[in-house]
């Protein structure tokens, strides 16, 4: 129920999302693909501008992509959801210029929430980072 004076947020996709927006010239412009029943996948090869320490990808960039993987696991299934809780575990450094493969999966779907997980791997399968999240459903896409 809307409280007096509370602003109602609209969740429209204007293609300016930092991670996946195709109109955002400063963004990553990543493409996501559905995998199986509840999965999703994307790839990212970080340029030097995304580093933290010399030649190491900034953990915040990896965390941002993991968050987006989880939200897109819902979005590409026509569920509009936003992150309510996010836990990231950075396991090992990722090198600038090294391709990373991001995976995600819907673990459980409730009436108002989704439990999701995501992880980033190097090409050899070594896990760089893992995430779990709780998403709040805020709508359903038409069509």
In sequence order, which residues have a C-beta less than 8 Å from that of residue 6 and are 6 or more positions away?
none
Q: Is a pLDDT exceeding 80 seen at residue 2?
A: no
**Rounded Cα gap, residues 51 and 60, in angstroms:** 10
pLDDT over 90 at 30, yes or no: no
Among 25-29, 56-60, 122-126, which stretch is predicted with the lowest mean pLDDT?
25-29
Q: Is the pLDDT of residue 7 over 90?
A: no
Q: What is the pLDDT of residue 59?
A: 97
How far apart CA 111 and CA 133 sit, in angstroms, is: 16
Question: Which fold is adopted by the domain 33-140?
Answer: Thiol Ester Dehydrase; Chain A (3.10.129)
Q: What digits encode the pLDDT tens for the residues 78-89?
A: 999 999 999 999
> Average of pLDDT values for 64-81?
94
Per-residue b or e along 71-96, where b marks 16 or more CB atoms closer than 10 Å to that residue's CB: bbbbbebebbbeeeebebebeeebeb
Domain positions in the chain? 33-140
pLDDT of residue 58 exceeding 80, the answer is yes
Predicted pLDDT of residue 5: 60
Q: Which of 33, 119, 112 is nearest to 73 (CA)?
A: 33
DSSP state of 8: P
**67, 83 contact by CB (below 8 A):** yes
């Amino acid at each position: 129920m809307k409280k007096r004076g509370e602003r109602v947020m609209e969740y429209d996709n204007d293609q300016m999302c930092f991670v996946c927006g195709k109109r955002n010239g400063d963004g990553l412009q990543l493409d996501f693909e559905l995998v199986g029943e509840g999965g999703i996948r994307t790839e990212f090869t970080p340029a030097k501008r995304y580093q933290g320490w010399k030649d190491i990808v900034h953990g915040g960039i990896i965390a941002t992509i993991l968050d987006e993987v989880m939200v897109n696991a819902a979005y590409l299934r026509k569920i509009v959801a936003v992150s309510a809780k996010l836990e990231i575990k950075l396991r090992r450094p990722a090198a600038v210029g090294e391709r990373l493969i991001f995976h995600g999966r819907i673990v459980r779907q409730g009436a108002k929430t989704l439990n999701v997980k995501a992880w980033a791997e190097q090409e050899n399968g070594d896990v760089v980072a893992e995430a779990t999240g709780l998403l709040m459903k805020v709508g359903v896409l038409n069509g």
